C-alpha cells in the first residue's frame, strides 16, 4: 500500500474532520463475523424471500438480496431474514413486455408517408401516461414502446423502464436498436383510392395487404439501390441498410399465418438477393403455431399476444391457441409473452405467463418468456432478465407462487427503488 | 367408469343432437336424462364438500337428482344399481353458482320501461353458447335476469345449463323481478327515479280503484278478467287482505286476486313478498334510490343489489341496509385522486368483505373473468380459500334462496359435481367432468372447442403440414382422424382424443 | 338606459379610433400638445407607487413623472381621484386578425408576418381598450409547427415590433391529420431538422437574436418536450398554451425561458393559479396570455386577480401585466412603465388596478384619450 506521510498530511488538511483510521491499518473487526462479510458497505435495500426464482434455472430458498446503486450487489440463499428487512414469499426478475403498446396513439405514427424508418418514437412517448405506473404495479419493469401500427414501417422503438426520470432520453435503455413495422390490414386501414378526395394523402398505396407487402420489399430494394445511385437516397434508407446488415432488429407485427409467412419470406428474399439477413422478430404472432417450421428455419423470435377466452385475437381475426407458447418452445423457438398494454382487464403479463402454462408451458419457460427472452431481444441481457449480482435491481415481489391465479405482484423494485411497497 | 347401456344412450343422444343442431361443438353436451329415482355415484380422489373437511377417497351418491350420501369410500356404500363415475385421479367440488346474469337470452332488454309482466322464460335460449360455456367453467346454477337497461324489468328464473327446453333447465321459476336504479338509456336519473316511484303509485291506485269498484257494487274488473280469459277459479277467485311491510290497501280482501290486472300483478307479488328483487345500481348514487324504493315498498329484506364496480363507495349504506350484493366482474377498480392525480387501486370484494356484506362474484364467462378466476383473484388479494370459494358457491346459493340446495356437496343438495384435475383455482387445472342432477353432462375429452383453443388444429395446406407431417402426428391429431377413437378415459392427458 | 348610451359612445369612439389609427402617432388630444395627469396613486411599473403622482406627456411621450413633476403654466392638469398605471400588455392575442392568424394547410410558415394580419380598427380591438389593454402580442393561432413571426401592436394603433417571437408548436397543437406532420414523431423530427441545420429565422432563433413563442401543448409531457427542445437548441423566449407550466418551474428557470400564463377557467383554474405561484417562487418571468376572442378581454386582469387571491403579491401581478410583459415581448424601451421617454400609454383606474372590482375610467394610447367611461358623473369611483 502506497501511503506516504505527505499524502496523509495532505489528506488531513483537506478533510475537515480528522480521519478516524490510521492509513494502512487493518479493516475494522466486523461486529458479527459469521453473518456479514466485513467489507460490505451498507446496502441501499435488502429483501428477503422464501423463494427467489433467479431465471437461471435456480430457485434459491430463503434468499437475501442486497441492492446498491440500483444494482443487485449480493444474492445469498439459506439466510434467515434479518431484522427490519422487507420480506416476501417470492421474487422474480422484473417482467419485460416487448409489445406493451404504451404509444401515444396517432401522435406516435407519422402517417404522411407509409415508410418512416428514420423516425424515432421517443419524441411522442408520454411518460406521464398513467399506464406506465399501472404496468409497473403489475410487476412489469421494462417495456418496448413502438409506434402505432398504422404505417408499413413505423420507425424506431424505444426501451424504457416503467419508472424513473421523467425525460425519455434519460430513461431510454441503450440496447439493440429496434425497427418497427407491420404486415396485415392495419397499415392500410386509413388509406383509400384517389377518387373524390385526391388532395388528401390517404389516397395512396397501400390499400391492401398486398400493397403493404409490396411497400416492404420496395423499401428494402430502394435502400439497397441507393448505395449505387446516391441521388435515389431517401430518409431512412440508411436505417434499412443497417437492418439488412443485422445491426438492428426488425420487429414486425403479423397476427395471422399468412402475414407471418410474408415476413419470413421477405427476410428469405433479402438473403437470396444477397442484400443481407434481417434479425427478425414477429410481434403478435398469434398464428405462429400453424407453421412453426418456417420460423424454425429462420430462427425467428415470436412475441405472442395476450390469450383470449375464445382464441380470436387482433383486428385480422387470428386464432391464438393456448398451447402456442409451449408448442413453439418445443420446436426450439424463442418466444416472449405480452399483455398488450395495461388493462383495463385483469389479464396482466404475469397472468399471461400463467395462461401459457395452462397451454402446457413449464414454469421455467414461462418465466424466461417474460424476463430473459425479451431482455435478449432488447440486447440488454447484461443488465436485465435474471436475478444475479451486478444486474439491474428490477424485481417483482409476489405473495405466492409467481404466475398462479391465486397470487399476484404485491411489490415492485425498479433500479433499486421501491416503486410499490408490499407492506 | 361409465356403464355400457348409458354410454350407448349417450352416443345416440349425441348423434341426435349433432344432427338437430348441426353444431359439432355441442356434441360434448351429453344429454341423457336421468329418470327420477335413477342412481348415480361419483368416486373421486378427494371430495371437497365445502361444508366441512375434504374427504379423501370420497364417494358421492346421487338418487333422483339429489345427493343422498357423501363420505369416505369406507363409510358410504355405492348402491349396486348405481352408475359410477370412478375418477380417483380427480377432485370433486360442488358446481359454481352464478347469482345474476343476463346471458343466455335472446336479447336481454325489453324497450318498454316498466314491464314486470315479462318473464325471461320466454327469452332463454337453451342452446345459447353461454350455457355451453358455463359447463366448461364449472357453473351449474345460473340465475337469469333481464339486462340492466330497464326501469322495472322481467321476472327471472334460476336454471341449470343443460337441457333442450327451458322446462328441462328449470331450477326455480320466478327468482325475482329485475329493477334498475340506474337510468335506462335515454332517461335521466331524475326520470328513472320518477318512473320507478310512479310504477308503485300506479299499482296502489289500481288496487284502490278495484276496491272502490267492489264497494260500489261494480263488477267491471270481473268482466274484464273473464273477457281476457284469466283464471278465476280456486284461490284466484278469492280475495285476500294485503300483506305488505311497506304500505297497504284497505279492503283488498274484497277483490278476487284473479281480477288484479296482469300487468300489475308481478309488482303486487313483489310488494307482498312473493318474489325477490334484483336492483341494479350503476353508480354509488343509485344505491340510495334502490334502498329507499325497496324499503318504502316493503321488499328491502328480499332485495339483492347488482352493483357496478363504482358502487364500492356506497358500501356503508349497503351494510346499514343489510342487503346482499352481486359484484361486477371488474374486481380491481382504479380511482384517481382529483387533486394529486395519483391512482389508487381498490380491490372491490375486499371492501365488501371488510364491511361484512354478503357478496357473490359474477362472471361474464370469459377465461379471465369466469368465476373460478375471480375467486382466485380474491385469494391473490388476501382472501382465505374458504372465503374465495364461498363467493362462488355458498353465498350466491344463499342469495338465491337455495342454501343447502346448490353450492355444496351435502345430502339433500342437487347432484351438481365438478371433477377437476386439481385445485379449481389454479390456471393449470381443468374441469374434466361436470355432473348435474346426477347426469354426466360435460366431458372435456369430448369438448372440441376447448381442444381447439388449447391445442390448435393445424389446417391443411400450411407449410408445416406440407413439409413436416410427422411433427404434426407427434404433437396433435388432425381434425377428422378421430372417428372411432374411443379413448374416453384419457381425460386429463392432453391426448386430444374425442 | 345606460347600456343604450354606452352603445352610442362605443360607436362614436370607434369612429374616432379609425381616425386615430389612420393618422400617425403625432396626433394628440385636446387643444395643446401636452397634458398632465395627477392621480392619487401612480404605479410606475417597477413596483413603486407614487402618492399623488403626476405624469406629464407631450407628443405621445412621457416627459415628466413624479410627486412634484413640474406642470408648465397653461397646461391642462387632469385630476384623477384613483389609480394610474401603464397600459396592460397581453402576451398572446389574436384580436384584429381573426381567421387570418394561421394557415393549417402548411406546417412551416417561417416567414409569415403577423403584422400584415393586424386590423387596428377591428371591433375586437376596442374590447381590449375597455379593459385597459394598450399593447398586445399578435400571435398566430396554433395549428402549424411554425406559425410565423409575432407582432407587438398598440391597441387600435400601429405595430411597434414585427419580430417579437417566432411562433412554434412543439406539441400536438401543430398537427393535423391531412398534411405532414400528423404525429409528434414527425413534428419533432421536422423541428429537429430545422433547428439543427438552421437557416433564416431558425438561424436567428438559434443565435438568440429572435425569441421564440413555444406552444408545447397542454399536457405535461408536451411541456417537457418543449423545454428540452428549447434547451437543446439554446432558444430564448416564452412558453405558452399550457396550465402545466408551473409544475415545471425549476426546469423553465434552468432553461432561461419566460412564460405566458393561460386564462383562468373553471376547469383549469386551480392549476393556473398554483402555476403562477410556483413560477413566481422560482423567479421565472411571466406575463399573461389572453387569446381573445375565445377569451373575454377581462380575463387578463381576472386571471391576475385569481393569482393574487391565491397569494401572488399584487405588485408582482401588476408588473406581470405591464413591465415584465414588455420585457418578455422585447418592447420595454417603448411601453410597459410610466417612465420618461416611454409612450404615454396610461390607464386611469377607479381603484387598485389588479382589484377586479376596479374599473377602467380612461385609457390613453400615445397620449391620446381613446377611452373614457361615460358614467363618470355618477361619482361612483372610490
Q: How confident is the model at residue A207, as a pLDDT?
A: 86
Which positions in chain C touch A111 (Cβ < 8 Å)? 177, 182-183
**B6 pLDDT more than 90:** no
Name the grid cell of A396.
417483482
Question: How far is C-alpha C336 from the geometric centre of its chain's CA atoms?
Answer: 10
Q: What is the mean pLDDT of residues B144-173?
A: 95
Overall fold of domain A95-384: TIM Barrel (3.20.20)
A300-303: Cβ within 8 A, 24+ apart? A300/A263, A300/A264, A300/A267, A300/A333, A301/A333, A301/A334, A301/A335, A301/A336, A301/A373, A301/A377, A302/A328, A302/A333, A302/A334, A302/A335, A302/A336, A303/A98, A303/A99, A303/A251, A303/A335, A303/A336, A303/A337, A303/A338, A303/A374, A303/A377
Q: What is the pLDDT of residue C9?
A: 39
Angle, vertex CA A238, rays to CA A235 and CA A239, nearest 5: 90
- Kindly determine whether residue B380 and residue A407, on different chains, have CB atoms separated by under 8 Å: yes
- A41-94+385-423 in CATH: which number? 2.30.40.10
Q: Is B292 helix (H, G, I), strand (E, B) or coil?
A: helix
Taking CA atoms, B102 is separated from A335, B120, B370, C244, in Å, by: 39, 9, 15, 45
Judged by DSSP in three states, A7 sits in helix
Query: Within chain A, which residue ranges are assigned CATH 3.20.20.140?
Result: 95-384
* pLDDT band for position C98 (cuts 50, 70, 90): low
Q: What ipTM describes this predicted complex?
A: 0.86
For residues B111 and B338, the answer to whether their CB atoms sit within 8 Å is: no
The topology under which CATH files domain C88-328 is TIM Barrel (3.20.20)
Asked if C224 and A169 come within 8 Å (Cβ–Cβ), the reply is no
Note the pLDDT of residue A304: 98
Which residues in chain B have Cβ-Cβ distances shorter than 8 Å to A292?
464
pLDDT tens column, C285-326: 999 999 865 678 999 999 999 999 999 999 999 999 999 999
Q: Which band of pLDDT confidence, cut at 50, 70 and 90, is reported for residue A40?
A: low
Of the partner residues A112, A123, A129, the one whose CB lies closest to the CB of residue C182:
A112
- Check pLDDT > 50 for residue A28: no
Contact (CB<8Å) A124/C188? yes
DSSP state of A367: H
Give the A window 96-125 contacts with C, CB below 8 Å: 104, 106-113, 116, 118-121, 123-125
Q: Measuring CA to CA, which residue among B349, B351, B350, B356 is closest to residue B327?
A: B349
Burial degree of B263 (CB within 10 A; 0-12, 13-18, 19+):
middle
pLDDT band at A145 (very low <50, low <70, confident <90, very high): very high
Helix A349-358, helix A363-370: angle, nearest 10: 150
Statement: residue C22 has pLDDT above 60: no
| Over residues A397-414, mean pLDDT | 97
What integer pLDDT is reported at residue A41 of this predicted model?
A: 59
Among the ranges given (A21-35, C108-122, C298-312), the one the predictor scored with the smallest mean pLDDT: A21-35
CA distances from B213 to B221, B293, B314 (A): 8, 28, 44
Split at pLDDT 50, 70, 90, the class of B364 is confident
| Buried/exposed code over C20-51 (b: 16+ C-beta within 10 A; e: otherwise) | bbeeebeebbeeeebbbbbbbbbbbbeeeebe
- Of the residues B130, B370, B464, the best mutation for testing chain A's interface (the one with the most A CB atoms within 10 Å of its CB) is B464
**What is the count of residue pairs from A and C with beta carbons less than 8 Å apart?**
71
- pTM assigned to the model: 0.86
- Read off the pLDDT of each residue in C69-93 and give the average, rounded to a whole number: 91
Which residue would you say has higher pLDDT here, C62 or C93?
A: C62
At residue C195, the pLDDT reads 96
> What is the location of CATH 2.30.40.10 in chain C?
2-86+337-375
Domain with CATH 3.20.20.140 in chain C: 88-328
The CATH fold of domain C2-86+337-375: Urease, subunit C; domain 1 (2.30.40)
What is the pLDDT averaged over residues A6-30? 39
CB pairs under 8 A between A and B: 110
∠ CA B111-B115-B118, rounded to 5°: 100
Give start-end residues of each CATH 2.30.40.10 domain in chain A: 41-94+385-423
Residue B80 has pLDDT above 90, yes or no: yes
Contact between B373 and A405 using a beta-carbon 8 Å cutoff? yes
The shortest C-alpha distance from B368 to chain A (Å) reads 7
User: Across all residues in chain B, what is the average pLDDT?
Assistant: 86
Q: How much of chain B exceeds pLDDT 70, in percent?
A: 84
Percent of chain B surpassing pLDDT 90: 74
The residue of chain C nearest to residue A167, with distances taken between CA atoms, is: C224
Å between B375 CA and nearest CA of chain A: 8
Residue B72 has pLDDT above 60, yes or no: yes
Q: Residue A254 has which C-alpha cell?
A: 403479423
Residue scoring higher pLDDT (C125 or C9) = C125
Look at residues B38, B56, B36 and name the one whose alpha carbon lies nearest to residue B46. Answer: B56
Q: Which of B331, B334, B427 has the CB atom closest to A405's CB atom?
A: B427
Question: What residue ranges define each of the domains in chain B, with the CATH number in brackets?
Answer: 4-95+430-490 (2.30.40.10), 97-194+270-403 (3.20.20.140), 195-269 (no CATH)
Q: Does the structure show a pLDDT above 60 at C13?
A: no
Please answer whether residues C304 and C321 qualify as being in contact, where contact means their C-beta atoms are separated by less than 8 angstroms: yes
Per DSSP, the residues of A315-350 read TTTEE--TTHHHHHHHTT--EEE---SS-SSS--HH
Residue B2 has pLDDT above 50, yes or no: no
How far, in Å, CA of C222 to CA of A199, rounded? 30
- Residue A84: pLDDT band by 50, 70, 90 thresholds? confident
Q: Out of A380-394, B407-421, C7-21, C198-212, pick the least confident.
A: C7-21
* pLDDT value at C359 more than 80: yes
Residue B252, pLDDT score: 95
> A20: pLDDT confidence band, cut at 50, 70 and 90?
very low
Residues of C in contact with A104 (CB under 8 A): 184
Amino acid at each position: 500500500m502506497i501511503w506516504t506521510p505527505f499524502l496523509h498530511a495532505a489528506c488531513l488538511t483537506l478533510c475537515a474532520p480528522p480521519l478516524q483510521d490510521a492509513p494502512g491499518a487493518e479493516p475494522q473487526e466486523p461486529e458479527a463475523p459469521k453473518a456479514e462479510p466485513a467489507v460490505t458497505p451498507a446496502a441501499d435495500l435488502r429483501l428477503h424471500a422464501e423463494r427467489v426464482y433467479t431465471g437461471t434455472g435456480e430457485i434459491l430458498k430463503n434468499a437475501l438480496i442486497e441492492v446498491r446503486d440500483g444494482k443487485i450487489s449480493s444474492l445469498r440463499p439459506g439466510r434467515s431474514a434479518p431484522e427490519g428487512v422487507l420480506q416476501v414469499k417470492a421474487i422474480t426478475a422484473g417482467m419485460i413486455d416487448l409489445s406493451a403498446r404504451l404509444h401515444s396513439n396517432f401522435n406516435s405514427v407519422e402517417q404522411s408517408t407509409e415508410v418512416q424508418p428514420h423516425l424515432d418514437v421517443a419524441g411522442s412517448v408520454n411518460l406521464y401516461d398513467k399506464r406506465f405506473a399501472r404496468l409497473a404495479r403489475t410487476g412489469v419493469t421494462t417495456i418496448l414502446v413502438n409506434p402505432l401500427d398504422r404505417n408499413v414501417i413505423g420507425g424506431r422503438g424505444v426501451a424504457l423502464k416503467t419508472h424513473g426520470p421523467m425525460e425519455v432520453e434519460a430513461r431510454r435503455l441503450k440496447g439493440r436498436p429496434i425497427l418497427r413495422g407491420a404486415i396485415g390490414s392495419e397499415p392500410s386501414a386509413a388509406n383509400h383510392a384517389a377518387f373524390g378526395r385526391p388532395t388528401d394523402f390517404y389516397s395512396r398505396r397501400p390499400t391492401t395487404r398486398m400493397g403493404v407487402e409490396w411497400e416492404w420489399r420496395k423499401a428494402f430494394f430502394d435502400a439497397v439501390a441507393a448505395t449505387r445511385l446516391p441521388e435515389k437516397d431517401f430518409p431512412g434508407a440508411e436505417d434499412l441498410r443497417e437492418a439488412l446488415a443485422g445491426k438492428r432488429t426488425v420487429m414486425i407485427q403479423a397476427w395471422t399465418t399468412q402475414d407471418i409467412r410474408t415476413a419470413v419470406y421477405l427476410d428469405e428474399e433479402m438473403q437470396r438477393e444477397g442484400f443481407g439477413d434481417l434479425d427478425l422478430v414477429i410481434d403478435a404472432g398469434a398464428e405462429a403455431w400453424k407453421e412453426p417450421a418456417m420460423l424454425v428455419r429462420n430462427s425467428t423470435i415470436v412475441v405472442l399476444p395476450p390469450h383470449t377466452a375464445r382464441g380470436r385475437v387482433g383486428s385480422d381475426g387470428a386464432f391464438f391457441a393456448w398451447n402456442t407458447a409451449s408448442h413453439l418452445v418445443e420446436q426450439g423457438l424463442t418466444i416472449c409473452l405480452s399483455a398488450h398494454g395495461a388493462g383495463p382487464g385483469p389479464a396482466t403479463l404475469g397472468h399471461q405467463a400463467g395462461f401459457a402454462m395452462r397451454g402446457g408451458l413449464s414454469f421455467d419457460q414461462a418465466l424466461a418468456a417474460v424476463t430473459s427472452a425479451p431482455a435478449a431481444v432488447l440486447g440488454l441481457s447484461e443488465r436485465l432478465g435474471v436475478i444475479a449480482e451486478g444486474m439491474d435491481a428490477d424485481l417483482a415481489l409476489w405473495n405466492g407462487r409467481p404466475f398462479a391465479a391465486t397470487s399476484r405482484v404485491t411489490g415492485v423494485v425498479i433500479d433499486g427503488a421501491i416503486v410499490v411497497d408490499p407492506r | 367408469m361409465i356403464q355400457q347401456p348409458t354410454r350407448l344412450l349417450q352416443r345416440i343422444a349425441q348423434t341426435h343432437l349433432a344432427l338437430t343442431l348441426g353444431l359439432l361443438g355441442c356434441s360434448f353436451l351429453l344429454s341423457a336424462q336421468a329418470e327420477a329415482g335413477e342412481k348415480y355415484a361419483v368416486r373421486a380422489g378427494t371430495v371437497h364438500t365445502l361444508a366441512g373437511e375434504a374427504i379423501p377417497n370420497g364417494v358421492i351418491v346421487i338418487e333422483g337428482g339429489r345427493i343422498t350420501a357423501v363420505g369416505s369410500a369406507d363409510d358410504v356404500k355405492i348402491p349396486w344399481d348405481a352408475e359410477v363415475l370412478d375418477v380417483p385421479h380427480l377432485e370433486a367440488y360442488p358446481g359454481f353458482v352464478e347469482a345474476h346474469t343476463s346471458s343466455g337470452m335472446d336479447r336481454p332488454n325489453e324497450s318498454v320501461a316498466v314491464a314486470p309482466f315479462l318473464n325471461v322464460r320466454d327469452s332463454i335460449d337453451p342452446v345459447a353458447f353461454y350455457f355451453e360455456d358455463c359447463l366448461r367453467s364449472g357453473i351449474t346454477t345460473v340465475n337469469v335476469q333481464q339486462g340492466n337497461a330497464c326501469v322495472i324489468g322481467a321476472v327471472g328464473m334460476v336454471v341449470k345449463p343443460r337441457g333442450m327446453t327451458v322446462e328441462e333447465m328449470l331450477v326455480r321459476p320466478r327468482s325475482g323481478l329485475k329493477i334498475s336504479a340506474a337510468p335506462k338509456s335515454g332517461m335521466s336519473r331524475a326520470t328513472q327515479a320518477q318512473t320507478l316511484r310512479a310504477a308503485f303509485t300506479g299499482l296502489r291506485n289500481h288496487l284502490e280503484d278495484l276496491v272502490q269498484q267492489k264497494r260500489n257494487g261494480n263488477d267491471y274488473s270481473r268482466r274484464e278478467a273473464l273477457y281476457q280469459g284469466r283464471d278465476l277459479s280456486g284461490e284466484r277467485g278469492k280475495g285476500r287482505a294485503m300483506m305488505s311491510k311497506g304500505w297497504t290497501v284497505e279492503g283488498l280482501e274484497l277483490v278476487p286476486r284473479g281480477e288484479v290486472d296482469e300487468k300489475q300483478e308481478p309488482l303486487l307479488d313483489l310488494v307482498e313478498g312473493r318474489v325477490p328483487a334484483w336492483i341494479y345500481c350503476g353508480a354509488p348514487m343509485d344505491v340510495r334510490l334502490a334502498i329507499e324504493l325497496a324499503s318504502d315498498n316493503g321488499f328491502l329484506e328480499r332485495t339483492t343489489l347488482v352493483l357496478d364496480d363504482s358502487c364500492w363507495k356506497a358500501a356503508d349504506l349497503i351494510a346499514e341496509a343489510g342487503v346482499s350484493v352481486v359484484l361486477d366482474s371488474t374486481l380491481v377498480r382504479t380511482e384517481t385522486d382529483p387533486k394529486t392525480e395519483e391512482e389508487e387501486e381498490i380491490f372491490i370484494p375486499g371492501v365488501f368483505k371488510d364491511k361484512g356484506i354478503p357478496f357473490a362474484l359474477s362472471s361474464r364467462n370469459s377465461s379471465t373473468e369466469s368465476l373460478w378466476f375471480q375467486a382466485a383473484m380474491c385469494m391473490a388479494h388476501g382472501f382465505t380459500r374458504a372465503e374465495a370459494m364461498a363467493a362462488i358457491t355458498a353465498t350466491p346459493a344463499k342469495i338465491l334462496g337455495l342454501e343447502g340446495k346448490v353450492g355444496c356437496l351435502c345430502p339433500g343438495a342437487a347432484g351438481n359435481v365438478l371433477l377437476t384435475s386439481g385445485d379449481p383455482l389454479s390456471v393449470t387445472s381443468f374441469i374434466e367432468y361436470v355432473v348435474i342432477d346426477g347426469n354426466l353432462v360435460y366431458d372435456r375429452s369430448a369438448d372440441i372447442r376447448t381442444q381447439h383453443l388449447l391445442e390448435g388444429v393445424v389446417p391443411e395446406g400450411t407449410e408445416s403440414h406440407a413439409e413436416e407431417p410427422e411433427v404434426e402426428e407427434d404433437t396433435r391429431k388432425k381434425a377428422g382422424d378421430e372417428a372411432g377413437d374411443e379413448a374416453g378415459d384419457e381425460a386429463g392427458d392432453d391426448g386430444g382424443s374425442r | 338606459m345606460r347600456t343604450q348610451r354606452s352603445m352610442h359612445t362605443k360607436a362614436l369612439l370607434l369612429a374616432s379610433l379609425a381616425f386615430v389609427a389612420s393618422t400617425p402617432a403625432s396626433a394628440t388630444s385636446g387643444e395643446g400638445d401636452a397634458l398632465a395627469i395627477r392621480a392619487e396613486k401612480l404605479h410606475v411599473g417597477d413596483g413603486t407607487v407614487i402618492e399623488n403622482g403626476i405624469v406629464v406627456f407631450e407628443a405621445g411621450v412621457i416627459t415628466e413623472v413624479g410627486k412634484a413633476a413640474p406642470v408648465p403654466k397653461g397646461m391642462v392638469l387632469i385630476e384623477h381621484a384613483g389609480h394610474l398605471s401603464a397600459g396592460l400588455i397581453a402576451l398572446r392575442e389574436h384580436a384584429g386578425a381573426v381567421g387570418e392568424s394561421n394557415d393549417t394547410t402548411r406546417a412551416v410558415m417561417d416567414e409569415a408576418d403577423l403584422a400584415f394580419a393586424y386590423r387596428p380598427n377591428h371591433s375586437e380591438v376596442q374590447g381590449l381598450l375597455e379593459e385597459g389593454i394598450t399593447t398586445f402580442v399578435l400571435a398566430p393561432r396554433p395549428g402549424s409547427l411554425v406559425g410565423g413571426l409575432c407582432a407587438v401592436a398598440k391597441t387600435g394603433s400601429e405595430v411597434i415590433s414585427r419580430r417579437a417571437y417566432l411562433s412554434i408548436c412543439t406539441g400536438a397543437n401543430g398537427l393535423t391529420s391531412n398534411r405532414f406532420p400528423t404525429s409528434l414523431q414527425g413534428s419533432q423530427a421536422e423541428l429537429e431538422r430545422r433547428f439543427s441545420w438552421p437557416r433564416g429565422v431558425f438561424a436567428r432563433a438559434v443565435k438568440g437574436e429572435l425569441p421564440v413563442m413555444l406552444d408545447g401543448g397542454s399536457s405535461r409531457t408536451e411541456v417537457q418536450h418543449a423545454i428540452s427542445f428549447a434547451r437543446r437548441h439554446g432558444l430564448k423566449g416564452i412558453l405558452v398554451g399550457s396550465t402545466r407550466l408551473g409544475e415545471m418551474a425549476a426546469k423553465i428557470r434552468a432553461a432561461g425561458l419566460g412564460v405566458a400564463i393561460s386564462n383562468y377557467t373553471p376547469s383549469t383554474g386551480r392549476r393556473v393559479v398554483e402555476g403562477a405561484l410556483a413560477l413566481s417562487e422560482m423567479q421565472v418571468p411571466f406575463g399573461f396570455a389572453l387569446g381573445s376572442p375565445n377569451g373575454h378581454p377581462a380575463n387578463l386582469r381576472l386571471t391576475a386577480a385569481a393569482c393574487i387571491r391565491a397569494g401572488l403579491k399584487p405588485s408582482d401581478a401588476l408588473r406581470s401585466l405591464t413591465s415584465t410583459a414588455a420585457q418578455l415581448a422585447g418592447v420595454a424601451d417603448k411601453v410597459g412603465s410610466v417612465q420618461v421617454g416611454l409612450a404615454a400609454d396610461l390607464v386611469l383606474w377607479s381603484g387598485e388596478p389588479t382589484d377586479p372590482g376596479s374599473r377602467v375610467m380612461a385609457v390613453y394610447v400615445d397620449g391620446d384619450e381613446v377611452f373614457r367611461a361615460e358614467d363618470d358623473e355618477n361619482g361612483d369611483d372610490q
